[in-house]
Amino acid sequence: MSNARATHLTRRGILAAGGAVGLGAVLAACGDDDPKSGGSADSTKDAASGPWTFKDDRDETVKLDKVPANIVAFTGVAAALFDYGIEVKGVFGPTKTKNGKADVQAGDMDVSKVTVLGNVYGQFNVEKYATLAPDVLISTMFDDAGTLWYVPAESKDKISKLAPSVGISVYDRQLPKPLERMLALAESLGADVKAAKTVEAKKNFEAAAERLRAAAKARPEIKVLAGSASQDIFYVSGSNLSIDLEYFKALGVNLVEPPAKVLKASGGWFENLSWENVDKYPADIIIMDDRTATIQPADITEATWKKLPAVKAGQVIGRTPEPILSYDKCTPMLNNLAEAIEKAKKVA
């Protein structure tokens, strides 16, 4: 895994992405690419026929003469909209892996049918963006300053002149809130939120949440640690900023995390440990960052990792720090953790 280059990187850029990112990993290829209410639509029919208005999580309202047709979005946002039947024209963010297949953050999208403006942090081809004649740009936000995720600071002014933007916050709130906001955005863009598939997906999510709550209540002794791996560092997440971990904690999951005074150095997101100290926080289950920019558990060769009780017991599962914000995609996160807690042996 190549070393990260932090040129033009803010602290937010280093720490965001769901909190646990070993950002020696997530930002490993920074560079330039080549040349509180929902939407205003009362129904799908109204949404399909403009004008279009949407108030985002910066309290900024975008008003257009018609519903956006040429949508450009952060990959994870595009994947969520796709689940609701809304397709975008261009994306930026992790979209394709090195072998050309869809990145985990692309969900069910056919990545061959979208224009990729940049595949890693720091990439955003402004010239190509302009050729798409964008009506709106949509991204998530990992801070309270309204910074659009994966929109490079050095080119954001040029980008903002080409189309208005919408920001959906995934900072310091529990998962259901951004899910609601994404659904409202999709509805404003023409999605039928009363479709059987969508209604069923939301019911499944709610059922999975209750399952996790019940599992956590039945097994309060099971300690869960959220980690992320890079070549030289193991990152242990705090739970107070990430939408998934905040929700897990609210459901009663016994999360193991660094003390607040330690997390302060990273803005509250995580503590970075050397591999020699990877056993600092005993845990029965480890949930590991599943993004392609991080080292996956099967590829970790450090002896100290292999000696961890949770690893030896086979109690390591994936974690999705940047969830695709559709009910369909978030339900497995809850069920997988619930099942892990239900079946876990007490090993810490």
Would you say residue 325 has pLDDT above 90?
A: yes
- Rounded to whole angstroms, the Cα distance separating 209 from 211 reads 5
Cβ-in-10-Å burial (0-12, 13-18, 19+) of 59 comes to exposed
Would you say residue 270 has pLDDT above 90?
A: yes
pLDDT at 24: 33
Q: Which residue has the higher pLDDT, 21 or 245?
A: 245
What are the CA-CA distances from residue 238 to residues 222, 226, 305 (Å)?
A: 17, 8, 20
pLDDT at 218: 98
Q: What mean pLDDT comes out for the span 239-253?
A: 97
- Closest among 118, 174, 168 to 148, alpha carbons compared: 168
Both tokens assigned to 138: 């949509």
C-alpha angle 176/179/180, rounded to 5°?
85
pLDDT at 56: 98
Over pLDDT 70: what percentage of the chain? 86
3-state secondary structure (DSSP) of residue 130: helix
pLDDT band per the 50, 70, 90 thresholds, residue 49: low
Asked if 188 and 43 count as a contact pair (C-beta separation under 8 A), the reply is no
pLDDT band per the 50, 70, 90 thresholds, residue 83: very high
Q: What mean pLDDT comes out for the span 319-341?
A: 98
pTM: 0.87
- Closest among 11, 1, 15 to 237, alpha carbons compared: 15
pLDDT at 305: 98
Q: What mean pLDDT comes out for the span 142-153?
A: 96
Q: What mean pLDDT comes out for the span 158-181?
A: 98
Rg (CA), the chain: 20
Asked if 291 and 322 count as a contact pair (C-beta separation under 8 A), the reply is yes
- Rounded to whole angstroms, the Cα distance separating 285 from 224 reads 5
Both tokens assigned to 168: 């959906």
103-120 pLDDT, tens per residue? 999 999 999 999 999 999
Q: What mean pLDDT comes out for the span 316-330?
A: 97
Would you say residue 329 has pLDDT above 70?
A: yes
- Rounded to whole angstroms, the Cα distance separating 280 from 117 reads 41
- Closest among 65, 227, 46 to 136, alpha carbons compared: 65
pLDDT band per the 50, 70, 90 thresholds, residue 142: very high
Would you say residue 13 has pLDDT above 60?
A: no
pLDDT at 37: 36
Q: How much is the mean pLDDT over the chain?
A: 89
End-to-end CA distance of the chain: 30
Both tokens assigned to 29: 């290829």
- Rounded to whole angstroms, the Cα distance separating 295 from 124 reads 25
276-308 pLDDT, tens per residue? 999 999 999 999 999 999 999 999 999 999 999
170-219 pLDDT, tens per residue? 999 999 999 999 999 999 999 999 999 999 999 999 999 999 999 999 99
